[in-house]
Structure 1
Amino acid sequence: MTLPDDITRLQTKMTAAVRDHWKAFLIEGIVLVILGLAAIIVPPLASLAITIFLGWMFLVSGIIQFILTFSARGLPGFTWSLMSAILAAAAGIILLLWPVQGTLSLTIVVGVYFTMEGVATIMYALAHRKQLSERWGWLIAAGVVDLVMAAIIVTGLPGSAAWAIGLLVGINLVFGGTSLISMALAARSR
């Protein structure tokens, strides 16, 4: 069997699976769009909810890692794994006890991320402008958008902490949900 035959068979199976379950993708897409619109309409509430959710995720993962680390304490790296578990649990507790301050911290991290991502995208575009022909301009534009978003978020601190995380997650949910809806509708019509 050749590789193209394997790829063709995999694509056929994936197409059939999406077609068979198009309603599930449609429902998931609709739910994501609704949640995304809610986050865009009320970004402070969404930002706070995301911070609390992350707090629980860190706390639960830290506790699980702590238990698993002690169950394998004879393995190399025990101390580092234990420290990682304690840090995760501590981060979760801090986010749960002080969610507003946690939202501010997360917003700073997002601002720094957008800055670094913008610079990296622009540098990538410049380094590959000959290979990417006319497409490198789109990368420059994406990098500039990242830098503008970072500037808006960082210069607006601490006020931007109330809306930035919720708005960005809301936009992401709307786009993700819309793509699932379009995929489901395309699969239904086949």
Structure 2
Amino acid sequence: MHILPELYARLNHLRRPPPEEGSSEASSFSHSIPPWDKGRGTLTPDGARDCCSAIVVVVVVVVVLVVIVVVVLVVVVGGGGGGVGVVLVVVAVVVVVVVVVVVVVVVVVVVVVVSIVVVVVLVVVVVVVVVVVVVVIVVVVVVVVIIVVVVVVIVVYCYNIWPYNNSDNNINIIIVNSSNNKWVENYPKYISIKLSRCVARHNRQV
């Protein structure tokens, strides 16, 4: 709420006409001009400091958001799943909302404190950072999807998968070498996985 008095002071300053040069009121009038009015189109040291602080805040928040999104993608898509994955997704959504609010507040403060030129520069920087973040997220998603597809293809097409213990929702599968029917080296004797009821009914080679 401390911004309101400054806005009122600025409005009052714009409403009253400037005093005549050489009068006693002229010297006090020049000292009462707010920093953003001293030399329009230029940036005061205070404004530059505030602008740099705003940029640093936005960049740090965006970096934290990228880290959280990458962790969520690795856990959920990479196989972590379960309750932990759901919790992380909820946390990521909350963080996105908080980031949007923080960015809006920072932009509003910058608009009040600094000149229009600096605001345009800051908006360009924010847009560039957001574009880079989106590109990074897309690349991470594509890489994770490619890895998952490659693993599935290797397991399904390069090895024979035999049902070992047929049941309604849980079966154990044995991975054997397709050429000599021997256990695959460096693999456990069987891998327990959950399959759907319809898949579990097929008691034959996949």
The verdict on a shared fold, with TM-score over 0.5 as the criterion, is: no
TM-score normalised to the size of structure 2? 0.25
1 or 2, which has the higher strand percentage?
Answer: 2
1 or 2, which has the higher helix percentage?
Answer: 1
TM-score normalised to the size of structure 1? 0.27
Whose radius of gyration is greater, 1 or 2? 2
Higher relative contact order (CA 8 A, sep 6+): 1
